[in-house]
Structure 1
Amino acid sequence: MYRRGVTFLAAFLLQLCRPVCSAVQPGCRLGSLRREGVVVEGDVIIGGTFGVHENKMFPEINYTQQPQRAQCQSFSFRNYRWLHAMIFAIKQINENPELLPNISLGYGLYDSCDVIPRGLEGAMWLVSGQDELVPNYRCHDTAPLAAIVGDSASSVSIPMARLLGLYGYPQISYFATAPTLSNKREFPSFFRTIPSDAVQGKGLARLASRLRWTWVGVLTDDDDYGQGIAREFQQEALRLGICVEFLELVPILYSHSRTQRLVEVIKASTAKAIAVFSWKTYLYPIMEEIHRQNVTGKTWLASEAWSTAQALSDNRAFEMLTGTIGFTIHRGTLPGFKDYLLSVHPFRNPQDIFLRLFWEQAFGCSWQGDGAGVRLCTGSEDLAGLKNIFLDVSSLRLTYNTYNAVYAVAQALHDLQACSPGEGPFDGGACADVKDFEPWQILHYLRKVRFKNPEGEEVYFDENGDPPALYDIVNWQPTPAGDIQYVKVGSYDFRAPPGQELFLDESAIVWPGGEMQVPRSVCSESCLPGWRTALRRGQPVCCFDCIPCSVGEISNQTDSTKCLRCPSDQWSNTRQDACVPRLVEFLSYEEPLGASLASLAVLASLLPASILGVFLRHRHSPIVKANNRQLSYVLLGALALCPLCSLIFIGRPSPASCMLRQTAFAIVFTLGVSCVLAKTLMVVIAFKASIPGSGLRRWVGSRLPNTVASVGTLVQVGICGAWLGLASPYPENNTTSHVARIVLECNEGSALAFWCMLGYMGVLASVSFVVAFLARRLPDSFNEAKFITFSMLVFVSVWLSFIPAYMSTGGKYMVAVEIFAILSSSMGLLACIFFPKCYVILLRPERNTRDHLMGKGAAAARKN
């Protein structure tokens, strides 16, 4: 049913064409001529359909009148050269005794005008072998038809392939690239010498990515060719991070309203790069409207269907196409082809029904000479003096494809002819007769053909009937004469290893306006390293805002989608694009602050040691013996050790130093404060015991102060022991308090134990202060209580100031604050308690008497 339906449809389309076609000569005679085609005799016929005329304008169908036939008014020198490439190849083959010996090839050529009805008509004309087209019938007096070379447009080749596939006739296209034609279930007899758009679409997306275009528009034909390549392009573009701003369909039947709307979309687009997958015939009216509306500032990415389209590049009004870059067919060379083209002449080639028309177009003359002001063609015109694309053999692309297609058919026929009886591929080892074979038999050999053409390049088809994918990349560059030349600037070879398929020489490209820099086509400017992209709601992924990375995070690539957090031992640099090692911070002896504090600590330790030496030397003097001499020695020793404890705070923290620094300081300082408390109690008790009948006499002596000092210190030792046993301090790397530094510090282990230790010392100091304050009114000659009051006032003031300062700082400055508090409080105790005594011992020895200490010396002095 499918075959019958397609056959009926083809016959119906051909009958629609019949009223507007020229009169035909019925019969099966080879060499018959008609306005659109010609057949030249041979043992085997190779057919070919070429758009000798280009259909630039299509009549708009409004369904209010009978549709008109497309007007094929423009003769294409370029397409006509393709036709002669087929004739040239057949001429070479017929002259080659090693290829198809004793077999002459003939050919049938038809002008399809690049439109579907004409393409189907040409296919049926070649299959039927007669002018009167009768589906499912071929004249038996004609030579067998081996294959049909053509057509150029995918839109024409697809219906031709459906029709020819029903009968098994091979079709080899030199320019049809639609991916759907690779489907062998739907198009079993279709081959091509041009790569499929499935490869081209991916390659064009990679080219756009190489040019750093992430925001493009797409124009594509409203047919299988356009939709197929657009689908492949979009899939690969999505994988490469390229967004399509719009996708508009180019009408294959001209519509003024659709054309205007499409151009308005292009004009309003923010994309600077427009990828166009369209046949030149359909694209021409779009470019005319773009020129009329003066749309500029766009760079065009061309598929091979129009990347070397003379109809577009020759129109000097289309200046906006300068700078176009795109894929084109791989260029080949055909030695001898230029001489062949120069040899064609209407008088020597009367069978070429198109040659007289070519002559008229090329030389601006007429064979009839009936046009007003038109000179008569004589045949003596100089073909070599022409400067048109027909004689330009410098960039043979589709011409080369046509040449390879003919040789592929000839090679298949050669293999068929070389078959040995009994060893053939058909039932029972049968072979086919090269002068009388069925189309499906030559199709068998064509699928397996693999050879090198006369130029040494290998020609073969894969399982889908496609050749190896190889493209040249061309750039439309203006010449000094104002014309357009196609300059090769790269290549794309799908056979190359992954990542090496695309080669592009960007320095050789000329962009619109003569610019040498690649135009930018992006929705959003790239986010530099140190920033990340943030997608805009409701817009494609290529449209984003740039947000700086947070502190401690980096992005080291352009357009990073997220920022990476630096490792704990590193931090972000100022540009946020690299992680750098953090500075290690601790209070060291090498830095000025640490060295200064260490020096002060040593000096602060030497001073009480010196005073201790003075006290030992004058140990028998009354002022030293007063108020428990041994307790003063212990207090001076504690005050000498306290500054030295601060040295443990300086330097790189270690487990031992972290465990010792707070506990050693706490125990030594508590010993000193306990001694002060004991001395304060002794001052009070000694004064009260001097009153007659006082019961405090029994507490006078060294037992009570020693007990107070010992018990007070042992309580602190217990607190510190529990601290070390349950949650001892340990060194740690603090990476949170400073953004770009690692603070080496001691973790106190238990904050409760730390504050209990400080709180206990505060309690002892407060008790001493209170007791000394209450005893401040004792006789002036016995002024120990006043000195202790001042010392405790200094001590309490220092440590009350220490708490907020300690809590508000961090790192090495926190350690410095504690060292300063230790040194200040130690010096405060030393100065207030022992400096007055040293003054008496060293500078006023006359006061260092028992009577003076008891107040008698002062009374005697007043009497005198």
Structure 2
Amino acid sequence: MHALIFAVQEINADPELLPNVTLGFQVYDACNTLRRAAQGTLFMLSGGKGITPNYHCDKGTRLAGIIGESGSTRSILMAQILGLYWYPQISYFASSPILSNRYLFPSFFRTIPSDQFQMKGLAELVFYFGWSWVGLLANDNDYGQFGLQKAKEEIIKGGACIAFTENVLIGQPNRNAPHIVQVIKESTAKVVMVISSDSHFVIVAEELLRQNVTGNIWIASESWATSDLLFKERYQQMFLGTIGFAIHRGKMPTFSKYLRSLQPANDHYDPFIKEYWEQAFSCKWPGQENRIVSSDNASMRVCTGTEKLESLLTEEYHRLSLNVYNAVYAMAWAIQNLLNCTSGAGPFPYGDCANISSFHPWHLLHYIKNVNFKTKDGSQIFFDAKGNPPAIYDIVNWQVSVKGALEPVTIGSYDLSAPNGRTLSMDSAGIIWTNNETQVPLSTCSPRCPLGFRKVIIPGKPLCCYNCAHCPQGYISNQTDAVECHSCSWNMWPNQQQDRCLLRTTEFLSYEEPLGYSLAAIGILSSLIPLNILGVFIHYKQTPIVRANNYSLSCLLLFSLSLCFLCSLGFIGYPQPTQCLLRQVAFGMVFALCISSVLAKTITVVIAFNATKPSSRLRKWTGVKTSYSVIGFCTFLQLVVCVLWLSLSAPFQELDTDTKPGVIIVNCNERSPSAFWCMLGYLGFLAFISFIVAFLARRLPDSFNEAKFITFSMLAFLSVWVSFIPAYLSAQGMYTVAMEVFAILTSSWAVVGCIFVPKCYIVLFRPNMNSRENLMGKGKGQK
């Protein structure tokens, strides 16, 4: 009220603003009720001598406009009435978004931003501090409900969640405080946004104090962010660290001087100053009823009137006062523009201008819509198309003052017209939180998911309530609270923590690996054994035991066995495309030649035994042509299988990233498993035939009986490759190749050991047994 009085007096004393025009005012107290607000509005419209709708009974000065009301609900009622007559109304504290509706409220303006901007800013405040789990508390009137709806919408839109929403029931004496406090105590949300007036929320605060509820972070709307009611020392432990939006504070040094000059003895026209004096200084005027019920237990003293306001009035008083001050000046500048109108160039029909002594309310309404002026502290004041001023708020943090009480400390601002686009600017280092902490408290429904984890939504719960699950194999998350995990590129794999990708290791049977160079060394050394045996056979080719065992077939078999050992080297080392193409084919052909030679040798033994009988027709089949024909035919069939394999579905080099996690297995893909198993099966078939024939001939006389050695060799050969099949199918990576190399070496050694080692033993170490008589069985019994 005194801001209005001060502004009017200042304008009337200004020779440049409204010269020769004196502003007057009437003040009506709505007493926080709708009835008194409507009554006061109709009084003003009727001239102040009674309520006569549609008539203005006072013949004196004209009513230019109305400054007020403070509450949104009462302002809505007043704006509906004043809008019917197009009377300009400028509120200094009604912030409900519905008042921006120009269809419903065509003559309403305000010097406080709409809650639409405030709630958006409060939501940005929530996101700025990383809070995702917030409780909402609001009055059950227009201000609270519209603010609640908008704040909830903005918070959810930004990805945070609402833990609870509760209404402060202003129609109930206790404001539903016990229930509200119980909800706050049971909730896991540590941040509570309160959209309420201080007079209503203080009752909830008393209940919070009674139940000793502490540790919460309170987000205050501008209605109570700078409230004296809650700055008392008794609320310190509960509200320390509160952060919120406050009306933008301006500098009004002359107004401060004016306020300090107020004295109850001098201001007889002011019916409120004595009541304010009692409340401000906790005293009571003698001989008067005490109109203020103190909430403290301090004893009341007598007011003297000599108390000094300097100790109470701070710059915080200039927040709401500045809005009133600006509203009066907006009205004055509109009247000034009306006065400055040039006839013939006016805004009304036919270029008319309004007469200052007989203007209509809609005349002044036009100028208020277009008012634009700069205040004495440099701020620009204007109204947008919806009657709202530039949206700017101060961000305040409740800290302990030197006097031990709470006080709001400005730590930032929210300015939608900021030139750099940074609407929210804040000094985070200057914030003091609850319990005097400097770290931002957490308010989440679930703990944050660390790197390597992702969120898993809990059915039936808000999105902010989730479990943290490890990323699946092969996936990573390199940020906290990841919604989903991301796969690495084909040549990379997650580290153990699954928070970044590393290059996969490459695996193949390398010559640098102990297993690789061991098998290679065994293969090379083993290939020399058949060649050495071949040298022995060549040196002793005239001896009976060498001649009796088909010298030429033995030489061919030894040569093929040496190749069998060497073909294992094709499976060791980095698989090149050419190597992949030929290694299985080479293995199949060399072993086909080897087993075909064994089969031919077995058949030769059987034919040779039966050809010694009189009148045998098998004599013509005892020559080398039969043996080579068997070898050629059997090897040719394997050649056909291999040629078809290479022609229709040739093997190729493959980088296998699926078999072994985190490893690129470089191998040769056979492409056609059927062809591979046909080739291997054919070798088994030849070995099986050799085994059967040799087994049937095992009881031939010892002189010609090589069949028993062939039987053992083929039995060992078949055992190795039958065992190879399950081992090969179950092995992975380089061990698959190693298993095949081992089978090649073992089966080749089985043939060498069973067929040729006994002969070499006789040739080299038992020459007495290497005689025709011994081979013919004549040496028996002569020892």
Which category of TM-score, normalised to the shorter sequence, fits these structures?
A: over 0.9
Aligned twin of 1:222: 140
How has the CA–CA distance of structure 1 residues 256 and 855 changed in structure 2, closer, same or farther, with 3 Å as cutoff? same
Q: Deviations over 1:673-725 (max 9, x none)?
A: 11011111112222222233332211111011111111111111111122222
Q: Deviations over 1:538-567 (max 9, x none)?
A: 332222223333222333333333334444
Aligned twin of 2:294: none
Which of 813, 826, 838 in structure 1 is aligned with 2:748? 826
After TM superposition, the structure 1 stretch with the greater mean CA deviation from structure 2, 496-505 or 586-595, is: 496-505
State whether structure 2 residue 153 is matched by structure 1 residue 235: yes
Q: Deviations over 1:209-236 (max 9, x none)?
A: 2223222222211122111111111111
How has the CA–CA distance of structure 1 residues 113 and 626 changed in structure 2, closer, same or farther, with 3 Å as cutoff? same
Aligned twin of 1:209: 127
The residue correspondences of 1:505-544 to structure 2 (distance < 5 A) are 505-544=427-466
Report the CA distance between 1:325 and its aligned residue: 1.4
Answer yes or no: is the 8 Å Cα contact 2:169–2:175 preserved in 1. no
Report the CA distance between 1:641 and its aligned residue: 1.1
Report the CA distance between 1:374 and its aligned residue: 8.9
1:130 and 1:577 map into 2 onto residues whose CA distance is 75
Which of 671, 682, 691 in structure 1 is aligned with 2:613? 691
Specify the code of the residue in structure 1 equivalent to 2:368: L
1:657 and 1:685 map into 2 onto residues whose CA distance is 41
The residue correspondences of 1:685-834 to structure 2 (distance < 5 A) are 685-834=607-756
2:275 and 2:470 map into 1 onto residues whose CA distance is 68
Aligned length, in residue pairs: 775
Q: Deviations over 1:627-679 (max 9, x none)?
A: 33222222122111112212221223333222212111011001001101111
State whether structure 2 residue 88 is matched by structure 1 residue 166: no
The residue correspondences of 1:512-661 to structure 2 (distance < 5 A) are 512-661=434-583
Aligned twin of 2:782: 863
Report the CA distance between 1:823 and its aligned residue: 0.8
Q: Secondary structure at the match of 2:24?
A: strand
Specify the code of the residue in structure 2 equivalent to 1:682: T
Aligned twin of 2:331: 409
Aligned twin of 2:295: none
Report the CA distance between 1:348 and its aligned residue: 5.0
TM-score by length of 2: 0.93
Q: Secondary structure at the match of 2:315?
A: coil
How has the CA–CA distance of structure 1 residues 395 and 489 changed in structure 2, closer, same or farther, with 3 Å as cutoff? farther
Aligned twin of 1:311: 229
How has the CA–CA distance of structure 1 residues 121 and 191 changed in structure 2, closer, same or farther, with 3 Å as cutoff? same
How has the CA–CA distance of structure 1 residues 362 and 828 changed in structure 2, closer, same or farther, with 3 Å as cutoff? closer
How has the CA–CA distance of structure 1 residues 361 and 552 changed in structure 2, closer, same or farther, with 3 Å as cutoff? closer
2:712 and 2:288 map into 1 onto residues whose CA distance is 134
State whether structure 2 residue 285 is matched by structure 1 residue 354: no
Q: Deviations over 1:70-114 (max 9, x none)?
A: xxxxxxxxxxxxx22223333332333332233232232233333
Specify the code of the residue in structure 2 equivalent to 1:863: Q
How has the CA–CA distance of structure 1 residues 746 and 376 changed in structure 2, closer, same or farther, with 3 Å as cutoff? closer
1:395 and 1:605 map into 2 onto residues whose CA distance is 103
Aligned twin of 2:259: 341
After TM superposition, the structure 1 stretch with the greater mean CA deviation from structure 2, 533-542 or 792-801, is: 533-542
Which of 237, 252, 276 in structure 1 is aligned with 2:170? 252
How has the CA–CA distance of structure 1 residues 166 and 455 changed in structure 2, closer, same or farther, with 3 Å as cutoff? same
Which of 283, 308, 312 in structure 2 is aligned with 1:383? 308
Report the CA distance between 1:421 and its aligned residue: 0.9
Answer yes or no: is the 8 Å Cα contact 2:605–2:705 preserved in 1. no
How has the CA–CA distance of structure 1 residues 679 and 563 changed in structure 2, closer, same or farther, with 3 Å as cutoff? same
Aligned twin of 1:101: 19
Answer yes or no: is the 8 Å Cα contact 1:287–1:318 preserved in 2. no
Q: Secondary structure at the match of 1:271?
A: coil
2:473 and 2:204 map into 1 onto residues whose CA distance is 52
2:388 and 2:734 map into 1 onto residues whose CA distance is 75
After TM superposition, the structure 1 stretch with the greater mean CA deviation from structure 2, 510-519 or 737-746, is: 510-519
2:726 and 2:289 map into 1 onto residues whose CA distance is 110
How has the CA–CA distance of structure 1 residues 362 and 737 changed in structure 2, closer, same or farther, with 3 Å as cutoff? closer
Report the CA distance between 1:424 and its aligned residue: 0.5
Answer yes or no: is the 8 Å Cα contact 1:570–1:580 preserved in 2. yes
Q: Secondary structure at the match of 1:397?
A: helix
1:825 and 1:415 map into 2 onto residues whose CA distance is 112
Aligned twin of 1:31: none
Report the CA distance between 1:768 and its aligned residue: 1.4
Answer yes or no: is the 8 Å Cα contact 2:283–2:303 preserved in 1. yes
1:180 and 1:106 map into 2 onto residues whose CA distance is 31
1:163 and 1:318 map into 2 onto residues whose CA distance is 43
2:144 and 2:342 map into 1 onto residues whose CA distance is 45
How has the CA–CA distance of structure 1 residues 653 and 435 changed in structure 2, closer, same or farther, with 3 Å as cutoff? farther
Specify the code of the residue in structure 1 equivalent to 2:642: C
How has the CA–CA distance of structure 1 residues 363 and 570 changed in structure 2, closer, same or farther, with 3 Å as cutoff? closer
Aligned twin of 2:71: 153
Which of 41, 53, 58 in structure 2 is aligned with 1:135? 53
Report the CA distance between 1:845 and its aligned residue: 4.5
Answer yes or no: is the 8 Å Cα contact 2:33–2:74 preserved in 1. yes
2:317 and 2:772 map into 1 onto residues whose CA distance is 127
Report the CA distance between 1:139 and its aligned residue: 4.0
1:597 and 1:840 map into 2 onto residues whose CA distance is 30
Answer yes or no: is the 8 Å Cα contact 2:46–2:58 preserved in 1. no
Which of 316, 322, 328 in structure 1 is aligned with 2:240? 322
Answer yes or no: is the 8 Å Cα contact 1:332–1:395 preserved in 2. no
Q: Deviations over 1:774-824 (max 9, x none)?
A: 333334444532322222222122112211211211211011000000011
Report the CA distance between 1:499 and its aligned residue: 7.7
Report the CA distance between 1:382 and its aligned residue: 5.4
Aligned twin of 1:437: 359
Report the CA distance between 1:449 and its aligned residue: 1.4
After TM superposition, the structure 1 stretch with the greater mean CA deviation from structure 2, 496-505 or 214-223, is: 496-505
How has the CA–CA distance of structure 1 residues 237 and 376 changed in structure 2, closer, same or farther, with 3 Å as cutoff? closer
Q: Deviations over 1:465-487 (max 9, x none)?
A: 11122112112222353311101
Which of 164, 174, 187 in structure 2 is aligned with 1:269? 187
The residue correspondences of 1:170-181 to structure 2 (distance < 5 A) are 170-181=88-99
CA-atom RMSD in angstroms:
2.7
Specify the code of the residue in structure 2 equivalent to 1:383: K
Q: Secondary structure at the match of 2:48?
A: coil
Aligned twin of 1:15: none
The residue correspondences of 1:671-682 to structure 2 (distance < 5 A) are 671-682=593-604
After TM superposition, the structure 1 stretch with the greater mean CA deviation from structure 2, 330-339 or 806-815, is: 330-339
Specify the code of the residue in structure 1 equivalent to 2:782: K
How has the CA–CA distance of structure 1 residues 194 and 847 changed in structure 2, closer, same or farther, with 3 Å as cutoff? same
After TM superposition, the structure 1 stretch with the greater mean CA deviation from structure 2, 252-261 or 813-822, is: 252-261
Question: Unpaired runs of 5+ in structure 2?
Answer: 291-298
How has the CA–CA distance of structure 1 residues 795 and 548 changed in structure 2, closer, same or farther, with 3 Å as cutoff? same
Specify the code of the residue in structure 2 equivalent to 1:417: L
Report the CA distance between 1:201 and its aligned residue: 1.2
TM-score by length of 1: 0.84
Specify the code of the residue in structure 2 equivalent to 1:461: F
After TM superposition, the structure 1 stretch with the greater mean CA deviation from structure 2, 840-849 or 452-461, is: 840-849
2:550 and 2:500 map into 1 onto residues whose CA distance is 67
Report the CA distance between 1:347 and its aligned residue: 5.4
Report the CA distance between 1:526 and its aligned residue: 2.5
Specify the code of the residue in structure 2 equivalent to 1:227: Q
1:457 and 1:369 map into 2 onto residues whose CA distance is 46
2:300 and 2:563 map into 1 onto residues whose CA distance is 124
Specify the code of the residue in structure 1 equivalent to 2:392: L
2:627 and 2:685 map into 1 onto residues whose CA distance is 17
